[in-house]
Chain A
Amino acid sequence: MIPSDHFVRFYNEIFKYLRKQGPEAVAEYYRTISRHQETHCLKLFTEKGIPGMKEYWDSIEREENCDSETLEYSEDVYRSCMNRCPSLSKVLDNDAGASEIYCRHCPGWVLPLFSKCGFYCVYDLVGLDIPRCEQAVFRNLDDARAYRERVLRRHPGHPELVECNF
């Protein structure tokens, strides 16, 4: 049995395998994960919007032992910072080594889900080998676009560290 606590190390092996099969195999897996995650949060996000997202991620923060902080929270904006991601931290503390694309699975499933709810999201992946990232969700597309420009300026020459669903 793979304990819940060790899921991420198994997950990491899946990403290594899929990466060898090609980008579409990885992309299709993200879509599959996203559909599964919809069962946990789509209704909540659709019905309650940003407060629903905070409710969901507050419980995740507790259950997954995240070291994270809310930077901005209102009916229109929800920005948070993951200071120590327990997921990538475990994958890095791993005799099998980390998949280079591990971090991308989060925006991989989160962004399509936000699109379904009608929200705009910008991810700052910070660095693919450090367990930190920032997520920003906006009700308003113009605000999201402006924020994306702010985040792109943090990564001159590395726009791949910024992901969004618009």
Chain B
Amino acid sequence: MKQDIKVCPITAKHIKVALVGQPNVGKSMLINSVSNAHLHVGNFSGVTVDKTEVLFDYKDYHFTVVDLPGTYAFTDFTIEERVTHKYLCNEDYDLIINVVDSTNLEKNLQLTSELLTMNKKIVIALNMSDEAVKEGIEIDEKYMSELLGVPCVKVSAAAKTGIEELINTVIETYTKPKIEPKLVFSEAVEEEIDKIVSFLEKHNYDANNSYRNVAINLLQNKEKTYQRISKKAIWTELQSIVVESLAHIELHHDTDDLKEAFAEEYAAFNRGIVAEVVKQTKVESEAKTLTEKIDSILIHPLFGIPIFLFFMWGLFQLTFTLGNLPMNMIDSFFGWLGNVIAPTISNDDIRSLVVDGIIGGVGAVVLFTPNIIILFVGIALLETTGYMSRVAFLLDGFFHKFGLHGQSFIPLVTGFGCSIPAYMAARILKNDRDRLLTLFIIGFMSCGARLPVYVLFAGAFFAPDMAGNVLFVIYISGAMLGLLAAKVLKMTAFKGVEEPFVMEMPKYRIPSFKLIWHTVLTQTIMYLKKAGTFIAGAAMLVWFLSNYPHNVELEKTYSVKIEQAVTQQQKKSLQNKLAQEELAHSYLGKIGKLTEPLFKPLGFDWKMNVALQAGLAAKEVVVSTLGVLYSIGGDVDETSRSLADNIRENIPFASAVAFIVVVMVYLPCLAATTVFAKEAGSWKYAIYLFFFTSVVAYVLAFIAYRVTLLMS
């Protein structure tokens, strides 16, 4: 391929190709082999709900290949199916490449038959032809092209064979006039088609499509065809013919479901095609295939779940041990950057904005990049090997009890690390409702950023040997609350018909390095883009709220005092006092005081309010804000002994319990909420999430407060 790529003359023609296929047919790999291309941002490997465009030049043509999400049929069941179906029906493109798996032709042709009724030029790429040869499957593609009336080309994306022929065939098909594909139905249906066709011929209907195609579309209740034809005068007469035909077909198939009838028609046609063009030279051996052998271990009723838990444990160990190394480097880099830039800005306000607001805020997000990369690699591996479906198979029984889906497990466990990749991981759930429900629950899994708050409070109120157990209890009860919340949501907001769980268990495959690389790269770039835009903006907002309005009077009196102070100790304490006063007078402080009555029933004073509200931005801020407010300086962490002492002296135990409950339940952080909104598909859901978590947090904290008061 490489040598053929050259810069096209300006006169070059554009060919826009829609790449369509069922899931797991190697579409993404094919697109990688076809183009040494310059990929526009998008996703791969089943995680995709967006379409990806790939551009490349070949001979005298500009190619645009639109990689559409994998779809089994046009049933609009999953987001993928909807995206693909909508694109194929409404967008402008020249030609469809239908990628099929040569080792499983009959099933793949089911989608092909639906494509054949679309009145578009089609080229069929018989992918995985090398694998088919290994399995002793011989396909006569010349004969197949003849039978279907559509060019079929053997390719292998993995072995990179037939790619050039495929593109040449696409060009040829593009330049030649369209040939009507030969989709043959059963006699009963053909009869009805003939009736409608002859009616259309008689009345000389000006179709934008062949009469046969119009007839088939009418019989399949295709909206667009109806919209067009029902405006014509012939419709009054035609309608009764169509109604009668439909009744005949339904009778013939003994069903009241037209889609079922046509699916059976297609299946019969495809069986015929396969019988004609496929020769199985090796008899399928009685011995188990490799996939079956692996499955007998990995989805074993007894060992399956422990094996899976071991894999997960390994992934998280990697995420947080391997990820820690570059994290420290990134952390010190942003620290260094702040120190270098700070002296170059003379204006106090601007310096504070740049160093504390922007660099600090974005740095905090970039900090998680190594974790996220490792996690993405892990998830991409799970997906591309085919193991993910097995996980869903094993765990669905347990999760279904709470209204969740087997695959919900992955994002939920990821949530213990950080909610941001967890929200992203929820993309593996194909069904909207399952995904939304999972997204709402992820926050209950306490993320890493909440750990400092827990450590601080557990250390303040419990003996060191007990603190670990308290931490464990906090984490477990958070997860259990999450499952209960799922159950409650399922019975209320997500009530309705149970979505079916029917899922393909694909063959195990050795993942392609290139594919994983692309997947992880594009996802990471998208994450970092967000850090640069949304999250930087949010960080600036929080910075602003906690720093303004400036109280000049206050600063003056304190600067005098600080100068007069004798010891370093006094200076420090005065500076802390100033920080505390300033925060109290900032917008954030005002909000804290304003909302004091609201949080009185939970036993919070305004300082705790402020800490919690600042924590909406990021949980890391809770500890540093408490540090400022309890007047021992903002630069503290959870290990500061004096802060823990201060908290024990100033906060009643019951209030502390309520405080922890709120931290466990309410919104993880602003960055995560942004990601949540994007993954859920609308900001509306972020508002729902805010109210849901806030109400739950409030109610539970109130109960916790009262119960603790009673017990002590």
A and B from one complex: no
Residues of chain B touching chain A, judged by Cβ–Cβ distance below 8 Å, are none
